Amino acid sequence: MLYDYHAEKINCRRAVVFDRLSDHTVQLTVMYALYVQVAQLVLQLIWTSDVTEALRKSEADRKVMSKTKQSVADLLNVILGLTITNASAVDRINFESLAILQTYYRDSYNDLVSGRQ
């Protein structure tokens, strides 16, 4: 009975969301917001994959950690380069957000490599 109550509330909320999404302006706004979230997710996946592979190969290849460090820094430089392009104010804010996130990843990787907690 409690499950049916919550399921009904969820279906009502879902209907309200779909009604609002029928407006094309709202659709574009939601799609753009999802685009930025997907970009953030992709950055996280790239970082996690690179770090995992570097840690796995670190015993056999002493230079893999420094190569990975450089690739993390290179990606940050690409994102920083996007912030100085002729982009709209919203795009620039999004690029800056991605740069902040990548800076955090770079700092986390540097702490991981140096053994700091």
CA dihedral 65→55→77→103, nearest 10 degrees, is -120
- Answer for the pair 29, 87: CB distance below 8 angstroms, yes or no: no
Per-residue pLDDT of the chain (117 residues; tens, 9 = 90+): 555 655 565 555 555 555 554 555 555 555 566 677 888 888 888 888 889 999 899 889 889 998 999 988 988 888 888 888 888 888 888 888 888 999 999 999 988 888 754
72-86 exposure pattern, b = at least 16 Cβ within 10 A, e = fewer: beebbeebeeebeee
